[in-house]
Structure 1
Amino acid sequence: MNQWFERLSEQVALSQDEPAVRSTLQRLTYEAGFNAYAYLSFQAETQTAVSNYPEEWQQRYFDLSYASIDPVIRTARDRQEAFAWSNVATGRTSKERRKFFGEAAEFGIRSGITVPIKTGFGRMAMLTLASSEVGFAEAQVLNPVGAAASFGQVHSRLELMRLRPTRRSNIRLKSDELTCLRWSAEGKSMKAIAIIENTTYANVCFFLRNAKSALGASTLPQATALAKEFGLI
């Protein structure tokens, strides 16, 4: 896999637009013997994905917030290095995870290689190559350092191109919350927003607190930045 990761960074660097990048990712995934790829980016409590996983699985994964129980993501956060995995349940596997493994297997996801990297400011990105064969991924020779270095270059390229996600965490904000966030982005204080919108200061605080919670943000500037990044305001 070492030469494959080098080739990945080279080919993505040569891709000039979004269709070319997606085509390159899919072609190289197949050439490596895997069935599908998933590029995930994590910001606060939200995730975005660029993937060729089956559409039904992507929708189910995000609608049911499977990122919170996905053992691959948990391992990626803990280890912060490339690793191979398989979704073989053991006697200690919880019912919740057994169900998750079973559903993933229905869509041809039984093993894989995942490369996680820290991307600054508490964020993380990871690339997963998935196989329908249980033992396929763990049989590959993997250099964690080389894989991370190559994926770091790929991540920078994808960030620069701002690829349209195939899926994104569901973020539901009410109109009052979006309005207050937009005024905050324009530099207005909460007292000023209350006057402009003809409401109370307490209401503005309530709307912005709910917005921060929905976005997984700990501060108002972070919530405003995330809302802008997600195209909500």
Structure 2
Amino acid sequence: MLETDFKRLPSNTKQLIEDSRSFNDALDVLMNVTGELGFTQVLYAYQPVRPQLPNGDWLPLKLNVRNFPKGWEEGWERFMKVDPYYRACFDGTLPIDWAKVQTSEQLASVQREACEYLGDFGLTRGITVPAHLPFGRFAVMSAIIDRPNVVWDTMLDQTREPLFRLMHVFTKVIFDLGFEAQIDVVRWNKLTPRELECLRWAAAGKTSGETAIILGRSLETVRLHIKNAITKLEATNRSQAVAMAIRLGLI
């Protein structure tokens, strides 16, 4: 049994995560550790690129969860970009109390709907811990409790620091183990294979004429693919489209 008084992480927590054979195994360990703290659900999410696009839009956040109620995910897709707990992560680096997010006057109506949607499944009290990683990457963990008889303020005070430590230990270990590619994420990709191919050659320094020769297509066709890519990426020119495609991990 892990100690419930987490002034520091138990010595075997890191080893338990290191013994995982996959990200899913590690997520099971995360559920067990947070469960010992009294939480009933846990989630972990990752963005391999900067979550907010230059046009102000946000990439959807895919939640990898343990012990969530059945059917919760069916209606969650419409909230993946506006998730208020996700957005709150960019106001700082410290653990976030869901209660403060829920009562914020800055929430948009659709974000209030997101809170209410999770609340319908009993998911109203939680702590979210963000990790802002190099090159704009982002990871987040939330520990949630659906038991109504818990004194939340006491639990918040007792677990906020250990969850902060746990999040950073967990993230470091799974990245050291090479599990990053196993984390389920939503990848932005509205470009066709041919549009991506043209952007790859543009990124390699080829002109549209050179790309047309390489691909065996007409110059007009290549220019059309580049133009479509610029429009879909909401870029202003070819160079910006290439930069955005690279930033999104598309090429």
TM-score, scaled to structure 2: 0.69
Counterparts of 1:157 and 1:91 in 2: how far apart (Å)? 34
Q: In the alignment, which residue of structure 1 is the partner of 2:139?
A: 125
Q: In the alignment, which residue of structure 2 is the partner of 1:2?
A: 6
Name the SS of the counterpart of 2:114 in structure 1. Answer: helix
Is 1:189 the counterpart of 2:210? The answer is no
| Cα RMSD after superposing both structures | 3.5
Deviation at 1:106, TM superposition (A): 1.9
Asked if 2 retains the 8 angstrom alpha-carbon contact of 1:117 and 1:124, the reply is yes
Match of 2:197 among 168, 179, 182: 179
Match of 1:82 among 92, 95, 118: 95
Is 1:21 the counterpart of 2:21? The answer is no
Match of 1:198 among 218, 222, 225: 218
Deviation at 1:127, TM superposition (A): 0.7
Match of 1:57 among 39, 49, 72: 72
User: 5+ unaligned residues in a row in structure 2: which ranges?
Assistant: 52-58
Q: Describe the shift of the 1:98–1:110 C-alpha distance in structure 2 as closer, same or farther (beyond 3 A).
A: same
What amino acid does structure 2 have at the position aligned with 1:168? V
Deviation digits for residues 141-180 of structure 1 (CA, Å, limit 9, x no counterpart): 1454x64444223112323213534452564333332332
Deviation digits for residues 179-223 of structure 1 (CA, Å, limit 9, x no counterpart): 3245457x3524232442324353243233245459xxx652552
Higher strand proportion = 1
Pairing 1:137-156 to 2, within 5 Å after superposition: 137-140=152-155, 141-142=158-159, 144=161, 147-156=163-172
Asked if 1 retains the 8 angstrom alpha-carbon contact of 2:199 and 2:226, the reply is no
Deviation digits for residues 35-66 of structure 1 (CA, Å, limit 9, x no counterpart): 211112232343343222346433533x3143
Q: In the alignment, which residue of structure 1 is the partner of 2:127?
A: 113
Q: Describe the shift of the 1:128–1:88 C-alpha distance in structure 2 as closer, same or farther (beyond 3 A).
A: closer
Name the SS of the counterpart of 2:182 in structure 1. Answer: coil
Q: Describe the shift of the 1:143–1:170 C-alpha distance in structure 2 as closer, same or farther (beyond 3 A).
A: same
| Superposition misfits of 4+ residues, deviation over 6 angstroms | none
Deviation digits for residues 7-57 of structure 1 (CA, Å, limit 9, x no counterpart): 644421222334421321232233222221111223234334322234643
Asked if 2 retains the 8 angstrom alpha-carbon contact of 1:40 and 1:50, the reply is yes
Q: Describe the shift of the 1:64–1:87 C-alpha distance in structure 2 as closer, same or farther (beyond 3 A).
A: farther
Asked if 2 retains the 8 angstrom alpha-carbon contact of 1:82 and 1:114, the reply is yes
Counterparts of 2:103 and 2:96 in 1: how far apart (Å)? 19
Deviation at 1:226, TM superposition (A): 3.7
Q: How many residues align?
A: 222
Counterparts of 2:185 and 2:72 in 1: how far apart (Å)? 11
Pairing 1:37-52 to 2, within 5 Å after superposition: 37-42=42-47, 43-45=49-51, 46=59, 47-52=61-66
Deviation at 1:77, TM superposition (A): 0.9
User: 5+ unaligned residues in a row in structure 1: which ranges?
Assistant: none
What amino acid does structure 2 have at the position aligned with 1:98? R
Deviates more, 1:3-12 or 1:198-207: 3-12
Considering only CA atoms, is the larger Rg found in Structure 1 or Structure 2? 2
